[in-house]
Amino acid sequence: MLKLIVVALAPAIIIMMFFYIKDEYDKEPLKLLLKAVMYGFIATGIACVLECAINSFIKTEEDVRGFMPILLYYLFAVGLVEEGAKFWFLVRKFYPHREFNEVYDGIIYGAFISLGFAALENVIYVLSYGMKTGILRAFTAVPGHAIDGSIAGYYVGLAKFTSSGLRRKTLLLTGFSYSVLLHGFYDASIAWNYGFLTAMLMYGILIFGGKTVLNQMKKSKRQIQG
């Protein structure tokens, strides 16, 4: 069991280290980053309760059939719920914090909350389904959560440092919507089960999201330098 837990936690820890190393100018306190991970754990529990409640109305997730029903299910019953739980903690607990003093801080806090979520979720999956699941999710679901959270966090960072109330709300909504769409389409691509096309679409979404995150990280650093 210990080996399975290590396999489940390792991807999230490695990705956390990546985001922390990339925070080159004013590193966030480790205490706050640990809190972000803890909030991610709590968000997992909240999302689980909400998803169970939703599934009780549609019997089971497996009852969802067809291209559009599957997409709508994963956008609203999964993506909206999970990203909503993570986003709430990001905005309520970190957005107003005095340590949130640059755009990149939104990226790192968003990533750490999401990776806390992914770590706990991964432990549950790996203990239930075994080592192969852990290895697969290390290259799919775990980085996927990090991507969704950090993209949302980038827009939260932009919102933090804009003087326009309307633009602030627009940026927050954009970041949240972006994360929900990426999450929903990623999950739906798996549920559609189109064989090789599913794999292409799934990894295409991850690559697109990963490139977006790297681009946003560069932009946030240019804003500091500029």
CB 90 within 8 A of CB 140: no
Q: What is the pLDDT of residue 59?
A: 55
Coil, strand or helix: which one is 145? Answer: helix
CA distance 166 to 55: 36
- pLDDT of the residue at 148: 98
Helix/strand/coil percent split, the chain, to 5? 85, 0, 15
**What whole-number distance in Å separates Cα of residue 107 and Cα of residue 45?**
23
Residue 33 near residue 136 (C-beta atoms within 8 A): no
What's the confidence (pLDDT) of residue 197? 85
As a whole number of angstroms, the distance between CA 2 and CA 135 comes to: 15
Cβ atoms < 10 Å from Cβ of 170: 15
Length of the chain equals 226
Contact 109, 94 (CB under 8 A): yes
Spatial contact of 156 and 95, defined as CB atoms under 8 Å apart: yes
b/e map 146-155, b = 16+ CB within 10 Å = bbbbbbbbbb
**Structure confidence at residue 208 (pLDDT):** 97
Per-residue model confidence as pLDDT tens for the chain (226 residues): 888 999 999 999 999 999 999 988 889 999 999 999 999 999 999 999 999 998 888 755 556 678 888 999 999 999 999 999 999 999 999 999 999 999 999 999 999 999 999 999 999 999 999 999 999 999 999 999 999 999 999 999 999 999 888 999 999 999 999 999 999 999 999 988 888 888 899 999 999 999 999 999 999 977 665 4
Contact 167, 148 (CB under 8 A): no
Q: Are 94 and 34 in contact (CB under 8 A)?
A: no
Rg value, the chain, Cα: 17
